[in-house]
Amino acid sequence: MTALPKTRRTKSQQAMKRHQIKAYAPTTVACPECQQMIPAHTACPYCGKYKGRTVVEK
C-alpha cells in the first residue's frame, strides 16, 4: 500500500509549486590575499590559500 493524494492538484497549483523552484548564482567572495572572486568556503585556485594558510602549492 502506498499513500496517495485524496484530491488531484490542478494545473495552476502545479505551476505555483514549480514557480518556487529557482536556480541561484553561486555565492562568490573576494580572496583576501589576491582579491580574485572565488566561490565561498573554497581554497583560492589563483594563489592557493584558504583562511590565510597555503593549502595548494602554486
The structure's pTM equals 0.56
In tens digits, the chain (58 residues) has pLDDT values of 788 889 999 999 999 999 988 888 889 999 999 999 999 999 999 999 999 899 988 7
What pLDDT was estimated at residue 41? Answer: 94
> Would you state the pLDDT for residue 3?
87
Residue by residue, DSSP assigns 4-54 as --SSPPPHHHHHHHHHT----PPPEEE-TTT--EEETTS--TTT-EETTEE
| Nearest Cα residue to 33 out of 49, 21, 45, 19 | 49
Distance of CA 44 to the CA centre of its chain: 17
